[in-house]
Structure 1
Amino acid sequence: MIKTPHYNWYGRGFKLRAAITIACQLAFVLFGYDQGVFSGIVGNADWLDTFGHPGSALEGIIVSIYNLGCFTGCILAFIFCEKTGRRLAMWIAMVWIIVGAILQATAFSVPHIMIARFITGIGTGIETSTVPMYQSELCEAERRGRLVSSEPLFVGVGIEIAYWFDYGMSFTGGSIAWRLPIACQMIFAFVVIILVFGLPESPRYLYKHGRGEEALQILCDVYDGTPDSPKIAKENNDVLQALKIEQENGAYRWSQLFKRDEVQTGRRVLLAYGMQFMNQMGGINLVVYYITSVLQFNVGLTRNLSLLLGGIINLMFFIGSLFPTFFLDKYGRRKPMMWGSFGLGVSMMLIAILLSFQGTSVSKPTSSASVTFFFTYMLIFGATANCIPWVYVPEILPLHVRAKGTAVGISANWIWNFFVVMITPTLINNLAWKGYLIFMALNFAFVPLVVSSPALLPYRSSANQAIVFLLPRDIELDARRDRLAFL
């Protein structure tokens, strides 16, 4: 355990909870900015000259090595986060990102920028593994789902900022057009560091490390109460109960993750992995990372128009993400994911069909029409496949394997993210319209997989308090028929 100083800059109650939420959401804006900033850079003339006009394969590696760094950061967070605490882990993540941004902005060779992007990725991996945990441990249970599902919305904000910054800088000449957007990652990181300095540590972490008095005081500050108030007593009891359950089941080994037991642990871990696989293999990062190149080389638009449309297309991601933020609990997880996968498959199919007329007399109108379905793709993805896997994974996992199972799920996200980003330049340049058929087939294949997955239903105790995330194993067995409806 590493003890970090705590200074409460934000008072008590709503002000403190708002500061926690702002810091966490700003961290996800940074995540989105990191994801989107390279889309408008890889085709920049000065960037290409600086790095020797890399071929499709090398370009894919330069861009995707960031995601390999994210995978590494995710693993590091899982190993060390319980020792450092949430706040220190967030600081460490921001330091990695700042160092990586400095190295990227000063890069003059391919090895230099690859190492720099890997370092930035480590910071992002730690950040995305720690921030949702910190947010959920310092918010009211009834708001937890909405706050977690709103995080992808702020990823969309970051992507949009990056795209429009890239577009504005495209009108300038020289290396500043790509070095400045990369360097500006540091602004978000420094702001997060400052905000987090005045925030409390997670009470869950403090209780786990024997600092109960500090934890109780933080609960009183966050919920603006006293140790004797019913709300504080309930929150305090919930945390202690959850820790007791974890201690009772803490010896669950990695080798047991895929076992066939009475709660179908193995199947549920595979579902967690599969949901994150679907999140990446539907083709989202073809659009997020390479939409400018796609519009330029597959559709045949000018670079300036490609940059402009890229920003507008990614705005659909943000607009679509409003749906789960406000309506996910009403419509559930499975139906939106099922129809979302179908809609994504249709969009990819129509893009492929319309781009297949390249080289014919109708190539110009059909290529222009294909842009419409990039809009529909991003809108549908934002509303469904973007958020649902992140909410579904912790819900489907039994409590005794939740930490390890979540690590498996998130690792799937980053590994397949890396794979898609690496191969996309080759698909764009060598397969052209045929490459979209791969993502079409995958999205259509996801539909029956989603249909056959369990639909989670909220389980409530006799006191009408949701205890889905705090169930001991014996209660979980009794409640399984109420929480899981297998088709």
Structure 2
Amino acid sequence: MKYIQFWNPGKPARNAVTFTCELAFVLFGLEQGILGIVILGQDFLNQFGHPTGSYLGIIVSLYTLGCFFGCILNYFVGPKLGRRKTIGLAMILIIIGITLQASAFTVPHFMVGRFITGLGTGMETSSVPMYQAELSKASSRGNKVSSEALFVGIGLVIAYFMDFGLSYTNGPLAWRLPISLQIPFAIVVLVSLFFIPESPRYLFINGQKEKAKEVLCYIFDREPDHPDIIESYGEIEEAVALEEIEGKYSWKRLVKKDHARTRTRVLLAYGSMFAQQLGGINLINYYITTVLVESVGLEHTLAMILGGVSTVCFTIGSLVPAFLTDRLGRRMPLVYGFFGCGFCFLMISVLLSIQGSDALQARCGAAAVGFFFLYQLIFGASGNCIPWTICAEIIPLHARAYGVPIAISSNWLWNFFVVEITPVIITDLQWKAYLIFTCTNFAFVPMFYFFYPETKGLTLEAIDKLFSENRTAFMGLVDHKKIFVDQKSESISVEKPQVDYVETA
């Protein structure tokens, strides 16, 4: 799949890569947000027989199950297709799935469409952050990968307010149109792929070493003998050399000890996505309107408006890591963030448990809504964006094409679990349901503090060094600054390549 060098070298080319990746994540947000209000529409309910409870949960969560299998599919086909072709295939699957959903007249028809859309989204979300990370500078990698999750929030905002506006229309237009409007976004991403290059690492490991160097020169607007290109190219060489030393990659490497600590790093990446989902975010993103109606007791129209405000809070919070991840770091924002999210769910549980007069319960309900908004701000600033960055950078280069899909599959497997149980626990447990997520959020605080290292400012090669030189499980207590200082010293000492370094025909 050749690309056209439409963009000027350097920043314009990198911006084109970032634009494509971020637009792909808008699709992610659209699909999550659209069904949250659509499932309450009268024509939708009439068309599909008024599904409720676990049946409704299956219809909604089948998408996330498809995403899980999309990650598994990417594990097998991603290393063969490369980053761009994988993202392109994902867009094609999404277009097919959305078309099936928008044209559905029966529940099985609709569910097949959601599953296929999920396959594409799973492939997309397990390829895009990795692709972005491999074409970013170490100094801005965190911000750029985190900004993708910001655009999930933008997709959610677009979805909620589009749904809200169309909820005043009659007939199938109210739900078929918002679902089908995802297709133009997928088409733009698909077209954009023809104007951005393949990952240089993928090219290198497939024998296209000169092509890999050309891409590095194009993306960073440097000559082949520039120290930045020498350093980046050498990083790829070192990763491939490690792969050759460790032996051919296989899934068994995930359960074996090796010099790069691959098993530990894949588990850390997997755990970050596990925490993201068990923090309860998709209880809100998928069901906020239902929650506000059934748990808080709000009128349906007001619940839809506040659901849209909730997604705005989520997006505003996500601005923080999108611009400041490379200054604030990864580890401590997650520690503080999950503590704050746990406190919000605790207060929601307390407020919704209070019994009394209608006036008292109304005031408590209003306060609970405020804590839903605060949760969205805090989660957006921490757990929404940073785990994607962790997955893209913490897994060693020699295993990234396999390890990232496995890590991202955690997002979708536990997303499926949360989305599936939410309608049931809200109905059966009421205010007690939020205590579950209070406990999980508080449990993640020590997990991130003790076991996750800080990686801000480190090159991918330096992250390898951080793990290989520190064999402890308590990576959160390791001082990453020494590695950072060593990295800076090595960078300063880089000179022009010697004759024996340059490849010859």
Q: What TM-score comes out, normalization by structure 1 length?
A: 0.91
**SS of alignment partner, residue 455 of structure 1:** coil
Distance 1:237 1:263, change over 3 A: closer
Correspondence for 2:234 among 222, 234, 237: 237
**Counterparts of 1:265 and 1:137 in 2: how far apart (Å)?**
18
Is contact 2:450–2:476 with CA below 8 Å preserved after alignment?
no
**Counterparts of 2:194 and 2:186 in 1: how far apart (Å)?**
12
Query: Deviation at 1:458?
Result: 5.9
Partner of 1:197: 194
**Counterparts of 1:145 and 1:98 in 2: how far apart (Å)?**
30
Correspondence for 2:130 among 128, 133, 142: 133
Correspondence for 2:469 among 471, 475, 478: 478
Partner of 1:76: 73
Partner of 1:220: 217
Is contact 1:241–1:470 with CA below 8 Å preserved after alignment?
no
**Which segment is superposed worse, 347-356 or 91-100?**
347-356
Partner of 1:445: 443
Could you give the per-residue CA deviations for residues 166-203 of structure 1, whole angstroms, max 9, x where no partner exists? 11111111110110000011010011111111222222
Matched AA of 1:429? T
1:379 aligned to 2:370?
A: no
**Counterparts of 1:209 and 1:56 in 2: how far apart (Å)?**
49
Correspondence for 1:34 among 31, 34, 55: 31
Is contact 1:165–1:181 with CA below 8 Å preserved after alignment?
yes
Query: Deviation at 1:267?
Result: 4.7
1:330 aligned to 2:324?
A: no
Query: Deviation at 1:237?
Result: 2.6
**Which segment is superposed worse, 393-402 or 196-205?**
393-402
Could you give the per-residue CA deviations for residues 205-245 of structure 1, whole angstroms, max 9, x where no partner exists? 22222223333332232222333333333333332332222
Query: Deviation at 1:123?
Result: 0.6
Matched AA of 1:419? F
1:343 aligned to 2:340?
A: yes
Partner of 1:435: 433
1:172 aligned to 2:169?
A: yes
Is contact 1:457–1:484 with CA below 8 Å preserved after alignment?
no
1:468 aligned to 2:462?
A: yes
Aligned-pair Cα RMSD in Å: 2.4
Partner of 1:154: 151
1:56 aligned to 2:50?
A: no
Partner of 2:314: 317
Matched AA of 2:345? M
Query: Deviation at 1:457?
Result: 5.2
Is contact 2:262–2:396 with CA below 8 Å preserved after alignment?
yes
**Which segment is superposed worse, 159-168 or 203-212?**
203-212
Distance 1:136 1:457, change over 3 A: closer
Aligned length: 476
**Counterparts of 1:449 and 1:285 in 2: how far apart (Å)?**
21
Could you give the per-residue CA deviations for residues 358-412 of structure 1, whole angstroms, max 9, x where no partner exists? 6744222211221101001101101111122222345554556555443332221
**Counterparts of 1:398 and 1:216 in 2: how far apart (Å)?**
20
**Counterparts of 1:202 and 1:444 in 2: how far apart (Å)?**
38
Is contact 1:101–1:185 with CA below 8 Å preserved after alignment?
yes
Matched AA of 2:385? C
Distance 1:121 1:52, change over 3 A: same
Distance 1:105 1:394, change over 3 A: closer
Could you give the per-residue CA deviations for residues 145-176 of structure 1, whole angstroms, max 9, x where no partner exists? 22112211111111111111111111111110
**Which segment is superposed worse, 155-164 or 437-446?**
437-446
Is contact 1:399–1:469 with CA below 8 Å preserved after alignment?
no
Could you give the per-residue CA deviations for residues 238-272 of structure 1, whole angstroms, max 9, x where no partner exists? 32332222233243543342446777655544333
Q: What stretches of structure 2 of length at least 5 have no aligned partner?
A: 479-505
Partner of 1:412: 410
Query: Deviation at 1:141?
Result: 2.8
Distance 1:159 1:358, change over 3 A: farther
**Counterparts of 1:466 and 1:284 in 2: how far apart (Å)?**
29
Distance 1:94 1:260, change over 3 A: closer
Q: What TM-score comes out, normalization by structure 2 length?
A: 0.88
Query: Deviation at 1:459?
Result: 8.4
Is contact 2:141–2:326 with CA below 8 Å preserved after alignment?
no
**Identical-pair percentage:** 48
**SS of alignment partner, residue 456 of structure 1:** coil
Matched AA of 2:440? L
**Counterparts of 1:478 and 1:429 in 2: how far apart (Å)?**
51
Distance 1:157 1:477, change over 3 A: same
How does 1:276-315 map onto structure 2 within 5 Å? 276-315=273-312
Distance 1:397 1:15, change over 3 A: closer
Query: Deviation at 1:144?
Result: 1.5
**Counterparts of 2:362 and 2:313 in 1: how far apart (Å)?**
24
**SS of alignment partner, residue 64 of structure 2:** helix
Matched AA of 2:163? D
**Counterparts of 1:405 and 1:193 in 2: how far apart (Å)?**
25
**SS of alignment partner, residue 141 of structure 1:** coil
Distance 1:140 1:447, change over 3 A: closer
Partner of 2:488: none
**Counterparts of 2:131 and 2:260 in 1: how far apart (Å)?**
28
Is contact 2:396–2:464 with CA below 8 Å preserved after alignment?
no
**Counterparts of 1:350 and 1:161 in 2: how far apart (Å)?**
29
**Which segment is superposed worse, 127-136 or 243-252?**
243-252
Q: What stretches of structure 1 of length at least 5 have no aligned partner?
A: none
Could you give the per-residue CA deviations for residues 400-444 of structure 1, whole angstroms, max 9, x where no partner exists? 655544333222111100000011111222222121111112212
Query: Deviation at 1:102?
Result: 0.5
